[in-house]
């Protein structure tokens, strides 16, 4: 029976560390660390995520400021808002809550964010730095996955890590991070032929595909470490991409949903905001 990787507990520990570091900045230097969030329109899931992020910021002493342009905002006006935040020296981090309404080109907006304030790590410069293993601001969810493995002393080097899902925000950056940690990495996606044949080889299996409980016990090697990034709402309950009960019978370690990767994503966002603040201090 698998042991639980408790993301909720680890995220709380990270938040406590960040709080003590932010307390020092605000008390000794009488400065504030600031995260500005842009939430376009009224996507209900996005509104929930932003509320969670605001709450987490408040808990550690990061000042968060929310900008809520209407759904029909023109691209040029959204870019203008990003420009204003880029220029404002009181703003340390800028987070663009995704998805955006379909008339807005996500890349154009993400590319406009000053890379030194890009707390999601999605700007092409930060993506490039990650590719060269020189990243300072890593995408939050994959960083949270690696942090969990490290905090549970789960070895990565030499292991076969299989990632199901190739999104720019999870699958691809996670593959790069695990490669830098000397894992042998396979990336699977919707066009992969015989998915189970590949997932069965995984020492570390990460699922980020967004299909409720699609990964069954028969797709998992005995003793594998299973990190479930998926967050899917089914009959008003959150479930992962992994059929938790049956896979837990086979895995050595497993993350629950909720309480696994989700809280780590937010903890990494706070950590990136503090890193961004420090990068800006050393730059000026």
- Residues annotated as catalytic are 53, 97, 120
Considering beta carbons, is residue 17 or 192 the nearer one to ligand NAD? 192
Considering beta carbons, is residue 32 or 151 the nearer one to ligand NAD? 151
From CA 120, how far away is CA 253, in angstroms rounded? 27
When asked if residue 57 is in the footprint of ligand NAD (CB under 6 A), the reply is no
Exactly one of 25, 211, 217, 279 binds ligand NAD (CB under 6 A); that residue is 211
From CA 105, how far away is CA 251, in angstroms rounded? 40
Exactly one of 97, 126, 141, 199 binds ligand NAD (CB under 6 A); that residue is 141
When asked if residue 229 is in the footprint of ligand NAD (CB under 6 A), the reply is yes
Spatial contact of 5 and 253, defined as CB atoms under 8 Å apart: yes
Spatial contact of 206 and 164, defined as CB atoms under 8 Å apart: yes
From CA 268, how far away is CA 14, in angstroms rounded? 8
When asked if residue 186 is in the footprint of ligand NAD (CB under 6 A), the reply is no
Residue 128 is encoded by which pair of tokens? 């490039």
Considering beta carbons, is residue 137 or 209 the nearer one to ligand NAD? 209
When asked if residue 273 is in the footprint of ligand NAD (CB under 6 A), the reply is no
Considering beta carbons, is residue 53 or 81 the nearer one to ligand NAD? 53
When asked if residue 169 is in the footprint of ligand NAD (CB under 6 A), the reply is yes
| Beta-carbon count within 10 A of 56 CB | 20
Exactly one of 15, 53, 123, 166 binds ligand NAD (CB under 6 A); that residue is 166
Residue 235: CB partners within 8 Å, gap ≥ 6? Answer: none
Spatial contact of 83 and 112, defined as CB atoms under 8 Å apart: yes
Nearest CA-CA partner of 187 in 204, 165, 214: 165
Smallest distance from the beta carbon of 30 to ligand NAD, in angstroms?
34
Pairing relationship of beta strands 204-207 and 160-164 according to DSSP bridges? parallel
When asked if residue 209 is in the footprint of ligand NAD (CB under 6 A), the reply is yes
Exactly one of 53, 242, 262, 276 binds ligand NAD (CB under 6 A); that residue is 262
Exactly one of 119, 163, 188, 206 binds ligand NAD (CB under 6 A); that residue is 188
From CA 78, how far away is CA 97, in angstroms rounded? 13
When asked if residue 271 is in the footprint of ligand NAD (CB under 6 A), the reply is no
From CA 220, how far away is CA 232, in angstroms rounded? 20
Considering beta carbons, is residue 45 or 80 the nearer one to ligand NAD? 45
Exactly one of 57, 127, 135, 208 binds ligand NAD (CB under 6 A); that residue is 208
The piece of 11-19, 77-85, 219-227, 228-236 that touches ligand NAD (CB under 6 A) is 228-236
Nearest CA-CA partner of 264 in 145, 121, 163, 178: 145
User: What residue has token string 């698998």?
Assistant: 2
Under the rule (CB under 6 A), what is the footprint of ligand NAD? 141, 164-167, 169-171, 188-190, 192, 195, 208-211, 229-232, 261-262, 265
């Amino acid at each position: 029976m698998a042991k639980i990787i408790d993301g909720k507990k680890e995220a709380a520990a990270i938040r406590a560390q960040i709080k003590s570091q932010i307390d020092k900045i605000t008390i000794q230097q009488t400065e504030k660390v600031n995260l500005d969030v842009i939430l376009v329109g009224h996507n209900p899931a996005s509104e929930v995520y932003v509320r969670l992020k605001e709450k987490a910021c408040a808990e550690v002493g990061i000042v968060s400021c929310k900008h809520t342009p209407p759904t029909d905002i023109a691209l040029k006006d959204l870019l203008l808002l990003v420009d204003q935040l880029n220029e404002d020296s009181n703003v340390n981090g800028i987070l663009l809550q995704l998805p955006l309404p379909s008339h807005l080109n996500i890349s154009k907006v993400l590319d406009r964010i000053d890379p030194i304030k890009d707390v999601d790590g999605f700007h092409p410069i930060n993506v490039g730095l990650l590719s060269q293993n020189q990243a300072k601001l890593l995408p939050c969810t994959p960083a949270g996955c690696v942090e969990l493995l490290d905090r549970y002393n789960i070895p990565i080097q030499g292991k076969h890590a299989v990632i199901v899902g190739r999104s720019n925000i999870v699958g691809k950056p996670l593959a790069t991070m695990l490669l830098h940690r000397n894992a042998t990495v396979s990336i699977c996606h919707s066009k992969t032929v015989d998915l189970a044949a590949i997932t069965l080889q995984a020492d570390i299996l990460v699922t980020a595909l967004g299909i409720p409980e699609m990964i069954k016990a028969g797709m998992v090697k005995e003793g594998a470490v299973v990190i479930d990034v998926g967050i899917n709402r089914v009959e008003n309950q959150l479930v992962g991409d992994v059929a938790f009960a049956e896979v837990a019978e086979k895995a050595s370690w497993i993350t629950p949903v909720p309480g696994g990767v989700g809280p780590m994503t937010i903890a990494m966002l706070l950590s990136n905001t503090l890193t961004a603040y420090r990068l800006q201090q050393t730059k000026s």
